[in-house]
């Protein structure tokens, strides 16, 4: 009679929150007015990756698309003001690797059927924490997530981490110089100090390569 393996098999869950916990994530703390410049810096360091950028509004998506264009960075913007044919054309071009950067909103992301997202950047954190987990589900545990977090988004970040039961690692963007006033610098420092206090589990703050 063959020996049976009595070791229990660990069950793998595929709900959005469980998938999010298994997805590589990091955050960059940044003042709102520095987000566009920081994003440009991140894109230039990851210009070989298929990148999706998510904003909280159509207007923000258009403004960001215009900013990147002025920096000679090719990106396509798709949101609720565009037609279905434009959705389909943009998604097909992204999936084929013909365009590297796509800017969109939570409302439209799910309808694009993107198949090869390698880097997902949350330019804005969503108002509802569940939308953050939905965003990460589109990475299919293969890509990486970066969130740009401003001081006024600390509350939603705390909620996301509470639900995940982890602290998302924070990294400083090497060679990026913020344009901070003394008062804003003090605010960000207080956030960083708060991040160092363990809420769920200890994570070391590390510097990106």
Q: What is the pLDDT of residues 18-37, one digit of tens each?
A: 878 889 999 999 999 999 99
- pLDDT at residue number 15: 75
Strand partners, 76: 102
Task: Check if the beta carbon of residue 26 is closer than 8 Å to that of residue 168.
Answer: yes
Chain centroid to Cα 167, Å, comes to 15
- pLDDT at residue number 108: 93
- pLDDT at residue number 21: 85
User: Among 70, 74, 71, 69, which residue's Cα sits nearest to residue 50?
Assistant: 74
Residue 203 lies in a domain: no
Residue 149 lies in a domain: yes
Which of residues 203 and 13 earns the better pLDDT score? 13
- pLDDT at residue number 17: 80
Specify the 3-state DSSP secondary structure of 194.
helix
Q: What is the pLDDT of residues 150-180, one digit of tens each?
A: 999 999 999 999 999 889 999 999 888 888 6
Angle at 175 between CA 100 and CA 135, to 5 degrees: 40
Domain count, the chain: 1
Residue 169 lies in a domain: yes
HSE toward the beta carbon, residue 143, CA cutoff 13 A: 21
Q: What is the pLDDT of residues 96-145, one digit of tens each?
A: 999 999 999 999 998 899 988 999 999 999 999 999 999 999 998 889 99
Which of residues 47 and 3 earns the better pLDDT score? 47
- Residue span of the structural domain in which 98 resides: 16-197
Tokens 């009679």 belong to residue: 1
Residue 201: band (very low, low, confident or very high) from pLDDT cuts 50, 70, 90? very low
Residue range 67-93: mean pLDDT, rounded: 93
Q: For residue 56, give the CATH number of its domain.
A: 3.40.50.300
Q: What is the mean pLDDT of the chain?
A: 85
Could you give phi then psi for residue 207, rounded to 5 degrees? -100, 135
User: CA-CA distance, 45 to 39, in Å (whole number)?
Assistant: 10
Could you give phi then psi for residue 89, rounded to 5 degrees? -65, -45
Q: State pTM to two decimals.
A: 0.82
- pLDDT at residue number 12: 75
Residue 144 lies in a domain: yes
Residue 202 lies in a domain: no
- pLDDT at residue number 67: 95
């Amino acid at each position: 009679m063959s020996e049976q393996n009595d070791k229990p098999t660990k069950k793998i869950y595929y709900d959005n929150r469980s998938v999010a916990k298994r997805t590589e994530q990091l955050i960059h703390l940044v003042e709102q007015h520095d987000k566009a410049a920081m994003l440009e810096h991140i894109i230039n360091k990851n210009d070989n990756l298929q990148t999706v950028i998510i904003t909280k509004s159509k207007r923000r998506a258009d403004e960001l698309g215009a900013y990147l264009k002025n920096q000679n960075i090719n990106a396509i913007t798709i949101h609720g003001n565009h037609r279905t044919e434009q959705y389909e054309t943009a998604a097909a071009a992204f999936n084929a690797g013909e365009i590297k950067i796509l800017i969109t909103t939570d409302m439209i992301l799910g309808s694009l059927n993107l198949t090869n997202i390698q880097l997902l950047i949350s330019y804005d954190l969503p108002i509802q924490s569940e939308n953050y987990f939905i965003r990460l589900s589109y990475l299919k545990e293969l890509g990486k997530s970066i969130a740009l977090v401003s001081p006024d988004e600390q509350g939603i970040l705390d909620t996301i981490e509470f639900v995940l039961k982890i602290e998302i690692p924070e990294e400083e963007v090497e060679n990026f110089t913020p344009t901070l006033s003394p008062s804003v610098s003090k605010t960000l420092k207080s956030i960083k100090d708060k991040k160092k206090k363990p809420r769920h589990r200890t994570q070391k703050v590390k510097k990106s390569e």
